Amino acid sequence: MVKLITSTQELLKTRSAETEVIGFVPTMGNLHAGHISLLEAALKDFDHVYFSIFVNPTQFGPNEDFNQYPRTLEKDLKLIEDLLINYPGKEVVVYSPKHPQEVYTDDIKNRVISVKGLKDIIEGAIRPGHFDGVATVVFRLFELVKPYKTYFGLKDYQQFLVIKRMIQDLNLPIMIQGMPIIREPTGLALSSRNQYLSPQQKEKSLLLNYGLKQIEDTLAGDKLNIPVARELITKLKNDCNWNYLELRDADTLDEDLSSSSKVTILGVYQLGTTRLLDNRQMELK
């Protein structure tokens, strides 16, 4: 069963009447198979799952597309209902507030949650304030939903680390699970942004996945290959479509890999106004 809740008051009333632990999947809607994979993981773990659909204004910069972000609630609910056919007896509560004021009430609208050390590098350097907006809304949703476990896709890897660090720093009693990237047959990571690509851009977007795989193959899990991998990154970045292409420690995003046992390769490839994110993680020996 799917239950739609559009007001915070109703959400609090519903949640306070429950005693069982729940899983939680926060999204901005416009769902695709990647989002549905998070919900499916939660449904395998819990009988009751909360799922938020909220386009969060605080994580959009002044020149970004908050007003243009697609709102597809009816289609999103149908996708959730279709998945639930495979999970008889289980329930998904969808919290989709009609107005930002439902989430950012007067008493907390000026509160900001900030994760120092992760928020201002790589993606955060390009989008100042973005990760403050992400951490703030997720913390607020955690306050309202009170989940036992939450699920995030690893496509937005830096975002995953920000939320994981926030949970640790604030000693929140919440487990976080990072879920594998779901890809198109071509290897392109699924994203709501993909719908904006022209056929020509869609073809060129394959350079993102191809570039990350080249670096991954060059590293081959061996620390001795780091200098060669970094030379390849420098060469690939001659293509001006890369917003960034980085090799970092997978836990801290530090550039110094001398003590790293696991690394991440992160890249954003931009085609027109569409920014495509992707990453890889790899153990090192």
What is the per-residue pLDDT across 227-238, written as a single tens digit (0 to 9) for each?
999 999 999 999
Residues 75-106 have pLDDT tens digits of: 999 999 999 999 999 999 999 999 999 999 87
Confidence of residue 61 (pLDDT cuts 50, 70, 90): confident
Q: pTM for this structure? A: 0.95
Q: Which pLDDT score, from 0 to 100, does residue 2 have?
A: 96
Q: Domains, the chain, ranges and CATH?
A: 2-179 (3.40.50.620), 192-283 (3.30.1300.10)
Residue 60 is predicted with a pLDDT of 80
| Secondary structure (DSSP) of 146-195 | --SEEEEESSSHHHHHHHHHHHHHTT-S-EEEEEPPPB-TTSPBP-GGGG
Q: What percent of the chain has pLDDT over 90?
A: 89
CA geometry: angle at 204 spanning 201 and 208, to 5°?
120
> What is the Cα–Cα distance from 101 to 7, expressed in whole angstroms?
10
Put the strands of the sheet holding 262-271 in their side by side order.
242-249, 262-271, 274-283
Identify the band that residue 16 occupies on the pLDDT scale cut at 50, 70 and 90: very high
pLDDT at 68: 73
Per-residue pLDDT for 221 more than 80? Answer: yes
> Annotated catalytic residue: which of 35, 48, 99, 130?
35
CB atoms within 10 A of CB 284: 18
44-54 per-residue burial string, b: 16 or more CB within 10 A, e: under 16: eebebbbbbbb
- Give pairs for 108-117: CB < 8 Å, separation 24+: 108/140, 111/136, 112/136, 113/139, 113/166, 115/162, 115/165, 115/166, 115/169, 117/165, 117/252
35 tagged catalytic: yes
The dihedral region occupied by 146, where left means phi > 0, alpha psi between -120 and 50, and beta the remainder, is left
Whether 64 has a pLDDT exceeding 90, the answer reads: no
Computed over every residue of the chain, the mean pLDDT equals: 95
Render pLDDT for 103-141 as a digit per residue (tens, 0 to 9). Answer: 998 777 788 999 999 999 999 999 999 999 999 999 999
Task: Give the pLDDT of residue 167.
Answer: 98
